[in-house]
Structure 1
Amino acid sequence: MNILIVTGTALPEVPQEIIDRIIEAAGPGSTISIADSDGEALEYAADAEVVLGFVTPQLFAAAPKLRWVHAIASGVNRYLYPEFRDGAVQLSSEKGQVGPQLADHAFALLLALTRRVAAAVRLGPEAWDQRRALRMEQTELTGKVMGIVGYGGTGRAVAERATGFGMRSIAVDRDALEGDDHVDAVWAMDRFGELLEASDVVAVCCPLTPETHGLFGREEFARMPSGSMIVNVTRGEIIDADALIEALDSGQLAGAGLDVAPIEPLPADHPLWQRDDVVMTPHAAGASQLRASRNIDRFCRNLWRLRTGEPLEGVIDKQAGY
């Protein structure tokens, strides 16, 4: 089996230990090529049967033997160009493995807003002079309603944590699902507006697809209760940034916690950077000290599954987009 590894942000280098594990999983006679750029990857394309990493349209076209691609990411929207989406090559990812850390990060952003942590940090030593004002602006989560958009692994992890904070949770998903110990109800997307109206905090946990692109605009923010908040840890393009700023300016929203932005990196002069009611991090919510190891473990298990004809783990429905 000929394996091509294309390094990137989530896998900047490939230690010998990982190479040895991959070779063992792939079986005797297997080879590994490592490319540190898209251009270098093209040099190995002709023989590649498996790719770990991003496959550009150019690489895809130059790889006639390609059978399977494993993404070094949970979001796979950039892989789904027509040739890949409509072809027979399988795509898998760390789908289902990053929910806990995304949910942790969602609450880190939310607490930075509700407990005025971000505001205090911005003030620095002056925070002591503003202590009374900061205390008056702090809010608690107990008794609030968490509205979760997308009830996959991330949404479920958010609901579990919300329970720990004394919140109630409701959710919408592409299909209506049964509730569980941490969510009162999971509605189909045709009740999205009802969820917005009932939620004190909305957590964006859905993938970016044609259906979710621009899902939150002026009309959606207008349906949320005055003084509510939104947190986004999946993809920036799901929220219309201009509409978000308008909702914050009007007081319709009290705050936004954003790990993602419609343009990344967000330009330094973008108005979202200037706001005290917005907390942003640089698309880092999915990171943890265990993430890369878990993903390599799945990749190795899938190499064995490919060899034996077993179904792969974490397979992406390329037409659905997740």
Structure 2
Amino acid sequence: MTVPVLITLDFTPEHIARLQAISDELVIRQVRTRTPEGVAEALNQYPDTEVLYAIRLPTAWRSEWGVRWIQLHSAGVDHIPLDVIPPHVRITNASGIHAVCMAEHAFGMILALRRRLTDMMFAKPWHAWPPDRWALYARPLLRGQTMGILGYGAIGREIGRLAKAFGMRVLAYKRNPAQRADHTFVLPGTGDPEGRFPDAWFGPGELFRLLEESHVVVNTLPATRETEHLLNADAFRHMPPGALFVNIGRGRTVDETALVDALRTGALGGAALDVFEQEPLPAHHPLWSLDNVIISPHVSAAFPEYDDFAVALFAENLRRYLQEEPLLNEVNRQHGY
């Protein structure tokens, strides 16, 4: 018995060798492409593929393709035509492989906002210390403040772990707050698999309660029908004056017009944004002109070891697939993630 595996990413020979070493049953083929059309052509070339590794998927599905399981190279699935893929095909995502990177990125932006590090960078051309430096840069500590984390999955749990290291109170928001453990892919020593760090849990219908208590809000939510513009004018009004807002989830979860208003009026103290409703962010967008906003170009998940971590996850899932064990990070199509 053999299991044909088609990899469409640019994995190195060392990566392929690591995967091949899992079992002699695996027949691994590699066709490098990142487009839906390219993946379709690769499947036409190898229609007996049982396991597909890809970042993009065809927009139409052919009955002669033998795919039974798709491992995605990304955590988000909002760019995937889920309605096209036959229901018998299992889909797993890459959730967890970039949790550390994204949590570090979020905290880097939080510290830059809170300590006004960008102001210090802009002041360098003056070649002098400001006379009012204490008034400018004496900033409230994170320690003792409250962080609200929207989406307590792999990324949110690593952010929660770091927040606890900073001495912060942690509030967690998720679809089912009664389900506190999360046994998806996690790097050893990171995250919060058992859900031990939050001081309180909140579910749908309790968002405003969480926001009212949060000095810093970090959004990691996926883009679904339920989360679209969840962060709107009403939500921002429920945040404490001067609160900080960070978005490393999806741009569609935020009403950007309402966010701009809250930042202009001072209702929010600042925002750090890595994702936007339209990407790249248009040059005329008012967010570019706000001094209390940090913009990063959707790179919070970018780090040199991305493929190494992705292969580690794929290797574990391949082992589980061959042993008929539950796969890590299986996508719930109804939920959209």
Q: Deviations over 1:267-311 (max 9, x none)?
A: 233221222100111212123343321210121222232223222
Aligned 8 A contact 1:215 1:238 in 2: yes
Partner of 1:70: 71
**Residue in 1 aligned with 2:198?**
183
Displacement after TM superposition at 1:249 (Å): 0.8
Q: Distance in 1 between matches of 2:301 and 2:278?
A: 18
Assess if the C-alpha contact under 8 Å between 1:45 and 1:63 holds in 2: no
Q: CA RMSD in A?
A: 2.3
The alignment status of 1:229 with 2:244, answered yes or no, reads yes
Cα displacement (A) at 1:127: 7.1
> Against the structure 1 CA distance between its residues 26 and 207, is the aligned structure 2 distance closer, same or farther, given a 3 Å change threshold?
farther
Structure 1: runs of 5+ lacking an equivalent: 8-12
Could you tell me how far apart the structure 2 residues matched to 1:181 and 1:297 are?
26
Q: Distance in 1 between matches of 2:127 and 2:269?
A: 20
- Match for residue 276 of structure 2 among 261, 264, 272: 261
Partner SS, residue 101 of structure 1: helix
Alpha carbons 1:80, 1:318 under 8 Å: kept: no
TM-score (norm: length of structure 2) = 0.86
Matched residue, 2:5: 3
Aligned partners of 2:212, 2:244: CA distance in 1, in Å? 12
Cα offset for 1:133? 5.3
Any idea what the Cα deviations from partners look like across 1:49-106, whole Å, max 9, x if unmatched? 222113434364476211111111111222253122x611111122233322222111
Contact in 1 for aligned 2:92/2:330 (Cα 8 Å): yes
Look up the match of 2:40.
42
Count of paired positions: 316
Q: Quick check: 2:57–2:81 contact (8 Å CA) kept in 1? A: no
Q: Say if 1:45 and 1:59, in contact at 8 Å, map to a contact too.
A: no
**Amino acid corresponding to residue 50 of structure 2 in structure 1:** E
Q: Relative to 1, partners in 2 of residues 1:23 and 1:150: Cα closer, same or farther, differing over 3 Å? A: same
- Secondary structure of 1:35's aligned partner: coil
Quote the sequence identity (%): 31
Are 1:26 and 1:303, in contact at CA under 8 Å, matched by a contact in 2? no
One of 260, 265, 271 as aligned partner of 1:245: 260
Residue 136 of structure 1: SS of its match in structure 2?
A: helix
Work out the CA distance in 2 between the residues paired with 1:173 and 1:20.
38
Q: TM-score by structure 1 length?
A: 0.89
CA deviation vs aligned residue, 1:232-281 (integer Å, no higher than 9, x gap): 11211111111110110111111001111111211233221222100111
Measure the CA separation in 1 of the matches of 2:34 and 2:63. Answer: 15
Measured in 2, the distance between the counterparts of 1:260 and 1:321 equals 18
Contact 1:69 1:91 in 2 (8 A): yes
CA separation of 1:206 and 1:29: change in aligned 2, threshold 3 A: closer
Is the 1:41–1:59 contact (alpha carbons within 8 Å) kept by the matching residues of 2? no
Q: Note if contact 1:91-1:315 (Cα within 8 Å) is conserved in structure 2.
A: yes
CA distance in 2, matches of 1:29, 1:71: 18
Structure with a larger share of its residues in helix: 1
Distance 1:176 1:37 in 2: 36
- For the 8 Å contact 2:39–2:58, the answer to whether it is kept is no
What is the aligned counterpart of 1:306 among 305, 321, 325?
321
2:15 alignment partner in structure 1: 18
CA distance in 2, matches of 1:109, 1:134: 21
Matched, 1:120 2:120: yes
Secondary structure in structure 2 of the residue aligned to 1:78:
coil
Partners of 2:264 and 2:290 within 8 A in 1: no
